[in-house]
Structure 1
């Protein structure tokens, strides 16, 4: 069973779930929008049992102790800084990095900028950001899939998502996320300031620069029924990884891979870690 802890950093205290021995192989798991560390419940248990020290924080805006008010404080530079600050707290010189959705975007950026710190990268659902940016710019299918981002950046997004007992927020999780997780996420995001913190990731995002090639061993897992990410960027991701690369496509699975297909994802993740022990 995962343990609840708090991780002190210069930005504030992150709430987190951990599993496994503290002297085990360090694995950091980053959740997506609009979720929390609990999305990694299944993976935490298995990793802990495999003698890894797995840590899944509630990220900036999601942790009450790290919920700045200014949109600029949710830029990717700050989010990458949080990853390194958490690793530094545990004294990790190198660690395995796993991310889903927005957590994957942060993981791609961290691996690009700090390959000396990242032993392996596992990105779930979100392709390499350069491939994704090009698809948003040039691919009509991806443009349609990404149209929702503008709505989430609007000043009325909180009101819209929380109206009628958070009906539209709840709809985001369908299908794929278990109901007990949905209830947990909605409860968290209805706390004062929580949904604004989560939405500020979108408001601060600017996919207008290149992060460059990824040199660390990389596993990318994408699913065919992902409504937010099409095949164009997913298939193009290999062009942006110069290190060892593995691409896995899960059939008939939605965007919510860690919760909808936990066994498949965990098996792939363990294989990836075992293939790259150093």
Structure 2
């Protein structure tokens, strides 16, 4: 299905019983809504209604030009609009990677729209920013961001040789690798999605307030992009009921690597 909000058209995969509690699923880079395909059947079986959205830059009808169109404020406003359009103003939110950053900020700024939050791989923005600014290990893990922020060079490195660079980034993601890569190699897609990085201001992440909504944070212990300090600091920024679920032998691609475990974590959070 497609939804029209904020003057843009977003691609959405819906599923589960009509009338069930709504879960909105927000992906990150360089995945898309199809990354939830291993998770949603478990949620549907439990009676939940799901909407997996291709976010700004990923949906062909939602690719405004200019870096300023991809600020955190714009992406969070999109998420708030998704909740209003798809769930009547309140939903369970699940986000991975950049989708996690959006979910945290939505819960902090618009708590009435978030029934529960399950954040995957990326911790609370202030925790992540603190680690980036102070921890040499996290600085090393986040060094790729400098490339992604470099206009032109990043597009060339990722798309050359038929997308070999992009496929290297996606190494280990599993059988949906070609689905993710093909979508980002469409004209205009790489620049639009990389603009999320180019609009990112680490110092602004420090200012994101605490989350009072019931929250679960799921993190793979083999994540090469997010280290243990950042993951552990997330607890300092949640005032509501909080659960931290570290997954041994799981990397950054939790949605693909451990969909059943992630689904159980979501269901436990929703039930609680």
- Please classify the TM superposition score into its range, dividing by the shorter chain length: over 0.9
Which residue of structure 2 aligns with residue 213 of structure 1? Answer: 210
2:82 is the counterpart of 1:71: no
How many Å separate the matches in 2 of 1:161 and 1:126? 22
Alignment of 1:195-234 (within 5 A): 195-209=190-204, 210-234=207-231
CA distance in 1 between counterparts of 2:69 and 2:123 reads 24
Q: 1:271 aligns with which of 256, 263, 268?
A: 268
Instruction: Report the Cα distance in structure 1 between the residues aligned to 2:7 and 2:101, rounded to whole angstroms.
Output: 20
Q: Quote how far apart the aligned CAs of 1:8 are.
A: 1.4
TM-score, normalising length: structure 2: 0.97
Tell me if the contact between 2:138 and 2:227 (Cα under 8 Å) persists in the aligned partners.
yes
Aligned to 1:158: 155
Please report the TM-score for the alignment, with normalisation by the length of structure 1: 0.95
Are the structure 2 counterparts of residues 98 and 83 from structure 1 closer, same or farther at C-alpha, using a change threshold of 3 Å? same
2:21, 2:109 → 1: CA distance?
22
Residue deviations 1:40-77, cap 9 Å, x none? 01222221222111001000000001001111000011
Kept in 2, the 8 Å contact 1:223–1:250? The answer is yes
Give the gaps of 5 or more residues in structure 1.
none
Question: Quick one: distance in 1 between partners of 2:210 and 2:64?
Answer: 31
3-state DSSP class of the match of 1:171?
helix
- Contact 2:42 / 2:260 at 8 angstroms: preserved in 1? no
Task: Give the C-alpha shift of residue 252 in structure 1.
Answer: 0.6
Shift of 1:91: 4.6
Deviations 1:185-204 (A, max 9, x none): 11111111011111000001
- Is the partner of 1:42 in helix, strand or coil? coil
- Residue segments in structure 2 that go unaligned for 5+ positions in a row: none
SS for the counterpart of 2:250 is: coil
- What is residue 236 of structure 1 aligned with on the other side? 233
Match of 2:52 among 34, 52, 56: 56
Q: Look up the SS of the partner of 1:208 in the other structure.
A: helix
The Cα offsets for residues 6-54 of structure 1, whole Å up to 9 and x where unpaired, read as 1111231100111112311011000010010000012222212221110
